[in-house]
Every structure is written in C-alpha cells, then in structure tokens.
Amino acid sequence: MSKNNKRTKILLVFGTRPEAIKMAPLVRGFKTLEEFFDTKVCVTAQHREMLDQVLDFFGIIPDYDLDLMRPGQNLHSLTSTIINSTKQVFEDFKPDYLFVHGDTTTSTASALSAFYLGIKVCHVEAGLRTNNKTSPFPEEINRQITGRIADLHFAPTQASKDNLLDENINAENILVTGNTVIDALLESVERVANLKNKITQPISEFIGDSKKVVLVTGHRRENHGEGFEKICAALNYIANSEDDVKIIYPVHLNPKVQEPVNRHLAGVDNILLTDPLAYPEFIWLMNQAKIILTDSGGIQEEAPSLGKPVLVMRDTTERPEAVDAGTVILVGTNKEKIIKECQSLLNDQNRFEKMSKLHNPYGDGKAANKIVNKIKACR
C-alpha cells in the first residue's frame, strides 16, 4: 500500500527520434502503474516526421504536441521557443517530476524551464561525457547543463555514474540503470526478425546475395561541412573499389546532411540512399548489415547487442564501454582511415569475427523498470 494516496504526476518531455525511442519504455512503465502515477507526454516535435515514425510504432499519443520543428531551424530560436512553450505545459499540468533524456536542445531547454518553476527534474541517460565542449556540439554542454539542474540522475553505466561523482553530484541521487535503448531494442528485435513489406522489399532486392552490406548513418553538427564531404568521398571510393559491396544509407532529414549526401552519392552504383527508416525497418536493416558506419550515439549502443562491428565517424565518444570491449572503433571523418578500416573488416574474416562478438555493455533491458521503481519508492 502506498504511503501516498495522491497519484504522483509524471511528465515526460522529448522531441527527437532517439529520445522518443529511449523514452518509450519509460512511458509504458509509468502508464502501466496508473494507480500510482498520473502520466502525461509532451513532445516538442523538435523533429517531426522522424519523431512521428517512433510514436506510431510504440503507440504513444502525446498529451501535448508543441509542433515546433521548422526547416533548417537554428539552436537559438529552438531553445527559446522550447523554454517558452514548455512553461505553459508545466503551468497547466503541474508535474511533480519532469523526465528529460540525454543531451538534445529539447532536454536542456525543458529542464531549464522546469527549474525556473521549481519542478523536480529527472535526467535519463545521465553522466555521459567527453569533456570536450565542441564534440559532440552542442550535446556535451547540453548534458552538462542538464546534469547541473537535475535532482535525480539515471546513469546507464557505472562509468557514467563516476563522471557525475567527479562533478560532485551526490551519490544518493544517482542510480545506475542500464540504458533504456536496450529495453526498446530487446522488445522490438523479435517482432521485426522476419519483416517483409514495401520498405524492406526493395532493400532486400538491392542487397541480393551480397555478403558485404554496409549500413551508414550520419548527422552530427560537428561533421557538417568538411566532415560530410570526406565521409561521402570515402563511401564513393568503397562503393567503386570493393567487389560485391552494397552500401545502404538512410539519410537524416537535416538539409545540411541531405545536400552533401545527395550531391556526392545519388546514383552511385552499389549505394542505396533511402529516407530515414522507421524503427522496426531500421532494426531489421542493422541485422542484415555486416558492418555499420555511423556518428550516431544510439546506434553505437544498439549495434554491440546485435553483434555488429561499428566504425564511429567521430573523434570522441562518450560511450567508451564498447570501444574498450573492442566492438566499436573511432575512425573520425578521415577519408583514408574510413576506407582502410572498412575494407579491413569486409575482407579480414578473423578481425571481423573478433569485433562481431555479441556484447552488451548497456544493460539488461530492465532500465525503465528500475527508474519507475525508484520514483515509486520516493512517493
């Protein structure tokens, strides 16, 4: 029997594709315990199409949709509109706890907005650090700010907890939970194992009998401009020089990504550019791939669980666990290095097998439960 008969009001705010995937298990976890929690979801819609794909798959109907995405939006206007728009939501619902995730503009601006109103802030995926303020930009500073504001910190790993302790965050307010991305992945991976539909069909036809499928994604701001020029040049070279290779690249909708990728790679033999895939199709495709080239945070966490080697097109990572385990390598945006590592993994079977060992440093798929139970215990 609860100490407190009044239901605790939980508000989860998120705005981009990865936040939605990683918050979905938590939305479900709180909503299932209706007798304890009055749970509402607010989406800023910092992303639109890419967010809606995730909401559809997980069956989340937002209680508040701020619909803020604008084509080619900038950080200043997005930050200020999120602060102003979430204020109205907070004043309407009056949550006991605000949940934000990770390091996006949505998380940090919402956390700040809640702090101004004296609302308790819970930070999911807390404590990731590169301690380099330009990489990833602006995410490293976003998560440090959110870490300062947060009352409760849900750290995915012991290493992320240690980062928070180094910043003098009180150990009592930190809980190591694993990453909710694994909750989402494990619940979805079996559902999509034999996916066959109008999205997967043409991809399967493109792959044919190839045993050298390379999956690519990229979007980081610090790679815009020169970084993407070099990434595309490397992909072009690999597509033309490697027998039997098939490169599939679901291209992020950011115009700063669309433009260079389409300019360099549209129409190149052995390269298939697609729209961003919905989450089930994307998991299915990760499973078809031999290796993954990406600058994504979430994909670095998912791929080791699927036994897929990852070449990370960044110079820094706040996710050292898979690098330490040898399933992920940092290649930056250096054209020669991308080509060399990619060719080595495609052709050196021993090396491939060493890197493709199944490894799961990011949790057991029960992170959301641990978070919900912690809040239940606080009632």
C-alpha span between 148 and 167 (Å, rounded): 9
182 binds ligand UDP (CB under 6 A): no
Q: Is 172 a catalytic residue?
A: no
Question: What type of residue is 230?
Answer: K
Considering only residues 242 to 261 of the shown chain, the ones binding ligand UDP according to CB under 6 A are 250
**Contact, 116 vs 132, CB < 8 A?**
no
Q: Per the residue annotation, which of 28, 47, 219, 314 is the catalytic one?
A: 219
Cα–Cα distance, 287 to 280 (Å, whole number): 11
Which of 253/323 has CB closer to ligand UD1?
Answer: 253
Task: Say which of 143, 221, 224, 319 is annotated catalytic.
Answer: 221
Q: Is 252 a catalytic residue?
A: yes
Q: State the DSSP H helix or E strand holding residue 152, giving kind and residue range, or none if neither.
A: strand 152-155
The enclosing H or E element of 306 equals: helix 297-306
Is 277 among the residues that bind ligand UDP (CB under 6 A)? Answer: yes
Question: Of these partners, ligand UD1, ligand UDP, none, which one is at the site of residue 138 (CB under 5 to 8 Å by kind)?
Answer: ligand UD1
Is 86 a binder of ligand UD1 (CB under 6 A)? no
Taking CB under 6 A as the criterion, the residue among 8, 85, 296, 333 binding ligand UDP is: 296
* CA 139/CA 102 separation, integer angstroms: 8
Q: Is 153 a catalytic residue?
A: no
Identify which range of 34-42, 168-176, 274-282, 314-322 contacts ligand UDP by CB under 6 A: 274-282
Dmax over CA atoms of the chain, in Å, equals 67
| Nearest of 147, 43, 39 to residue 96 by alpha carbon | 39
Residue found by looking up tokens 């939006």 in the block: 73
Residue with tokens 């940092």, as numbered in its chain = 330
- Identified catalytic residue from 19, 96, 103, 183: 103
Tokens coding 331: 């290649």
Cβ neighbours around 349 below 10 Å, total: 9
What separation in angstroms does the CA of 216 have from each of 273, 291, 326? 10, 9, 19
Q: Are 220 and 136 in contact (CB under 8 A)?
A: yes
Of 14-22, 115-123, 166-174, 259-267, the window that binds ligand UD1 (rule: CB under 6 A) is 14-22
Q: Is 162 a catalytic residue?
A: no
Is 103 one of the catalytic residues? yes
113 makes contact, choosing from ligand UD1, ligand UDP, none, with CB < 5 to 8 Å by partner type, with: none
Q: Is 302 in the site for ligand UD1 (CB under 6 A)?
A: no
By CB under 6 A, is residue 362 in contact with ligand UDP? Answer: no
Cβ atoms of residues 127 and 153 within 8 Å: yes
**124 close to 22: Cβ distance less than 8 angstroms:** yes
Q: Take residue 198 and report the two structure tokens written for it.
A: 């109008």
161: tokens are 């907890």
Residue 93 is a binding residue for ligand UDP (CB under 6 A): no
Mark the segment that binds ligand UD1 (CB under 6 A) among 42-50, 169-177, 190-198, 228-236.
42-50
Which helix (H) or strand (E) segment holds residue 358: the answer is none
List 219, 221, 308, 335, residue binding ligand UDP (CB under 6 A): 219
- CB-based burial label for 351 (10 Å; 0-12, 13-18, 19+): middle
The verdict on 219 binding ligand UD1 (CB under 6 A) reads yes
The residue annotated as part of the active site, out of 252, 314, 319, 359, is: 252
List 49, 226, 244, 353, residue binding ligand UD1 (CB under 6 A): 49
Stretch that binds ligand UDP, among 83-91, 231-239, 293-301, 333-341 (CB under 6 A): 293-301
Nearest distance, CB of residue 255 and ligand UD1, angstroms: 5
48 binds, among ligand UD1, ligand UDP, none (CB under 5 to 8 A by kind): ligand UD1
Q: Find the part of the chain contacting ligand UD1 (CB under 6 A) among 171-179, 199-207, 251-259, 351-359.
A: 251-259
The binding site for ligand UDP (CB under 6 A) comprises 17-18, 21, 217, 219, 250, 276-277, 279, 282, 296-299, 302
Report, as residue numbers or ranges, the catalytic residues. Answer: 103, 125, 139, 219, 221, 252
